């Protein structure tokens, strides 16, 4: 009898709970996809703050792998299938035109006034614009900078270099004087990946060259491009200020090398600064930051940093585009960008945050960093950039490794990119 009573109660239990509702049942659910990030705790805190202020919206945070290639593949696979399983996505600065052209992003032009757009740095806005329409909002930015050992430059009476020739001369002087086989002159990202394109662009633009001109025409067959790539190769094979290991190096490997006190100069992104200032860092208090130098006969192009960073876009097939926009608006607002800058070291996309007294007090170097970031230029803004990048990575790597001469490498790249641009032209005609 007791057994029958127990079974009856178990059968009745779900019926008794059927009238109860989850606390979020009447809320619009916004799924936010982004890559694994150093500022994970700050992002979680901002999401909770947003939910407190918007009780009608629930945000679900879903983390993608850290590598941009894997994130890009996830988005392409799901968006091609018109997935509505996520609403807001963090986009690498180079993806926006591709996703916009494919019809995967909500047009945000009508949601932001011209006055509001003007409060963001120009470079990210240009990168987020396709055919005159805004498809993403800048979240945080990056720009290539030159790190240097203040103590070693002061020891030998040297100033931070304003030209690449000065960088070579000062590196050779310090290396010869220190006679330390474990000290390198200049480390940078030379592995065959997107980071190499970013670095090469800074050398190319620092020599007055460009990959595409304002009309979208390929300009690789230019002595200024060839000269820049030749100089990168010579840093390793002629001047001996960059070790051969740079040809396999990425951001983190160069950061670790510099952070161990084994390099005089390093090209990297601003994120490394906070890590160098942590307790226990071997270079704490010994590091300075300046713009990437240009070539001596092109000093007007000093500080032409490659723009990096992340944007927030809304899935065209989102079930809750208005709720998604409110979340994007909050996460790209002044308060959120300031929190990410102070707590996670992310560099703001809003110009006013750089004047914030609290941020300046905690990160004084942000004052010197601002002109570099403000003048940073995006990589070619085209839906076909990912295809172009694959070509550039291969040919630039061949040039700096001595597999092909710089002239031969850029000639091959020029032909392949011309074909990609022709595909782009035909695509536009179809559309």
Grouping H, G, I as helix, E, B as strand and the rest as coil, residue 173 is helix
Q: Are 365 and 160 in contact (CB under 8 A)?
A: no
Integer distance in angstroms from the first to the last C-alpha of the chain? 75
Question: Are 218 and 234 contained in the same domain?
Answer: yes
- Nearest CA-CA partner of 196 in 403, 413, 398: 398
Q: Which residues span the domain enclosing 347?
A: 28-142+307-374
Grouping H, G, I as helix, E, B as strand and the rest as coil, residue 260 is coil
- Nearest CA-CA partner of 392 in 119, 192, 239: 192
**Residue 49 scores a pLDDT above 90:** yes
Q: Is residue 239 part of a domain?
A: yes
Q: Is residue 380 part of a domain?
A: no
Environment class of residue 46 by beta-carbon count within 10 Å: exposed (0-12), middle (13-18) or buried (19+)?
buried
Question: Are 228 and 336 contained in the same domain?
Answer: no
Mean pLDDT for the stretch of residues 159-183: 97
How far apart CA 71 and CA 62 sit, in angstroms, is: 12
**Residue 5 scores a pLDDT above 50:** no
- Nearest CA-CA partner of 205 in 149, 253, 266, 143: 143
Q: Is residue 4 part of a domain?
A: no
**Chain length of the chain:** 431
Question: Are 82 and 168 contained in the same domain?
Answer: no
- Give Cβ neighbours of residue 155 (< 8 Å, ≥ 6 apart): none
Q: Is residue 383 part of a domain?
A: no
Q: What is the CATH number of the domain that holds 81?
A: 3.40.190.10
- Nearest CA-CA partner of 282 in 263, 305, 259: 259
**Residue 17 scores a pLDDT above 50:** no
Domain end among 333, 358, 374: 374
pLDDT-based confidence at residue 93 (cuts at 50, 70, 90): very high
Question: Are 285 and 421 contained in the same domain?
Answer: yes
The tens digit of pLDDT for each residue in 289-314 reads 999 999 987 655 566 899 999 999 99
Question: Are 339 and 421 contained in the same domain?
Answer: no
Q: Is residue 17 part of a domain?
A: no
Q: Are 117 and 128 in contact (CB under 8 A)?
A: no
Helices (H) and strands (E) in the chain, counts: 18, 12
DSSP code of residue 160: P
* Sheet bearing 184-187, strands edge to edge: 184-187, 263-268, 145-149, 287-290
Q: What is the pLDDT of residue 386?
A: 93
Q: What is the pLDDT of residue 368?
A: 87
Question: Are 295 and 231 contained in the same domain?
Answer: yes
Considering its fold, how many domains does the chain have in total? Answer: 2
DSSP string, 337-390: HHHHHHHH-PEESBGGGGG-HHHHHH-TTHHHHHHHHHT-BPSP-STTHHHHHH
Residue with more model confidence, 430 or 98:
98
What is the CA 397 to chain-centroid distance, rounded?
20
How far apart CA 182 and CA 263 sit, in angstroms, is: 8
Q: What is the pLDDT of residue 9?
A: 44
Residue with more model confidence, 30 or 423:
30
- Give Cβ neighbours of residue 266 (< 8 Å, ≥ 6 apart): 146, 147, 148, 186, 187, 188, 254, 255, 257, 258, 272
The tens digit of pLDDT for each residue in 190-240 reads 999 999 999 999 999 999 999 998 888 899 999 999 999 999 999 999 999
Question: Are 232 and 294 contained in the same domain?
Answer: yes
Helices 194-205 + 385-400 axis angle, to 10:
80
Q: What is the pLDDT of residue 300?
A: 58
Q: Which two tokens stand for residue 40?
A: 């994970």
pLDDT-based confidence at residue 15 (cuts at 50, 70, 90): very low
Count the neighbouring beta carbons within 10 Å of the beta carbon of residue 166.
15
Question: Are 90 and 189 contained in the same domain?
Answer: no
The tens digit of pLDDT for each residue in 242-273 reads 999 999 999 999 999 999 999 999 999 998 98
Q: Is residue 227 part of a domain?
A: yes
Question: Are 128 and 155 contained in the same domain?
Answer: no
Give me the chain's average pLDDT, please.
91
Question: Are 163 and 206 contained in the same domain?
Answer: yes
Q: Is residue 195 part of a domain?
A: yes
Question: Are 125 and 184 contained in the same domain?
Answer: no
Q: What is the pLDDT of residue 23?
A: 56
Count the neighbouring beta carbons within 10 Å of the beta carbon of residue 64.
20
How far apart CA 133 and CA 364 sit, in angstroms, is: 36
Q: Are 230 and 164 in contact (CB under 8 A)?
A: no
Question: Are 289 and 417 contained in the same domain?
Answer: yes
């Amino acid at each position: 009898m007791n057994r029958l009573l127990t079974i009856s109660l178990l059968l009745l239990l779900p019926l008794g709970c059927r009238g109860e509702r989850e606390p979020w049942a009447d809320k619009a659910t916004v799924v936010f996809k982004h890559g694994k990030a150093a500022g994970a705790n700050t992002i979680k805190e901002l999401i909770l703050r947003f939910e407190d202020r918007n009780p009608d919206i629930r945000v679900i945070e879903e983390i993608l792998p850290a590598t941009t290639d894997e994130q890009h593949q996830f988005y392409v696979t799901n968006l091609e299938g018109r997935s509505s399983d996520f609403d807001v996505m963090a986009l690498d600065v180079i993806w926006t035109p591709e996703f916009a052209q494919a019809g995967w992003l909500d047009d945000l032009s009508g949601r932001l006034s011209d006055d509001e757009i003007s409060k963001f740095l120009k470079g990210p806005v240009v990168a987020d614009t396709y055919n005159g329409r805004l498809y993403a909002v800048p979240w945080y930015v990056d720009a290539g900078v030159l790190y240097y050992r203040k103590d070693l430059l002061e020891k030998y009476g040297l100033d931070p270099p304003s030209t690449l020739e000065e960088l070579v001369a000062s590196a050779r002087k310090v290396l010869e004087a220190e006679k330390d086989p474990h000290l390198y002159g200049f480390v940078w990202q030379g592995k065959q990946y997107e980071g190499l394109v970013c670095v090469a662009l800074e050398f190319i633009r620092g020599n007055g060259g460009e990959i595409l001109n304002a009309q979208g025409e390929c300009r690789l067959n230019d002595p200024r491009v060839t000269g820049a790539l030749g100089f990168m190769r010579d840093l390793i094979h002629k001047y001996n200020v960059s070790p051969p290991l740079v040809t396999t190096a990425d951001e983190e490997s160069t950061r670790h090398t510099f952070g161990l006190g084994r390099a005089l100069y390093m090209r990297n992104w601003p994120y490394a600064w906070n890590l160098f200032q942590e307790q226990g860092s071997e270079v704490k208090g010994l590091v300075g930051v300046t713009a990437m130098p240009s070539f001596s006969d092109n000093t007007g192009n000093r500080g032409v940093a490659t723009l990096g960073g992340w944007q927030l876009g809304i899935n065209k097939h989102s079930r809750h585009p208005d709720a998604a926009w409110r979340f994007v608006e909050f996460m790209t607002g002044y308060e959120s960008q300031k929190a990410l800058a102070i707590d996670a070291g992310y560099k703001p996309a809003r110009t006013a945050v750089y004047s914030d007294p609290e941020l300046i007090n905690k990160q004084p170097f942000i004052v010197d960093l601002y002109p570099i970031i403000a003048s940073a230029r995006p990589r070619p803004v085209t839906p076909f950039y990912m295809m172009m990048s694959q070509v550039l990575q291969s040919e630039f790597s061949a040039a700096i490794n001595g597999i092909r001469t710089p002239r031969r490498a850029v000639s091959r790249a020029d032909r392949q990119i011309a074909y990609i641009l022709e595909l782009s032209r035909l695509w536009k005609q179809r559309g």
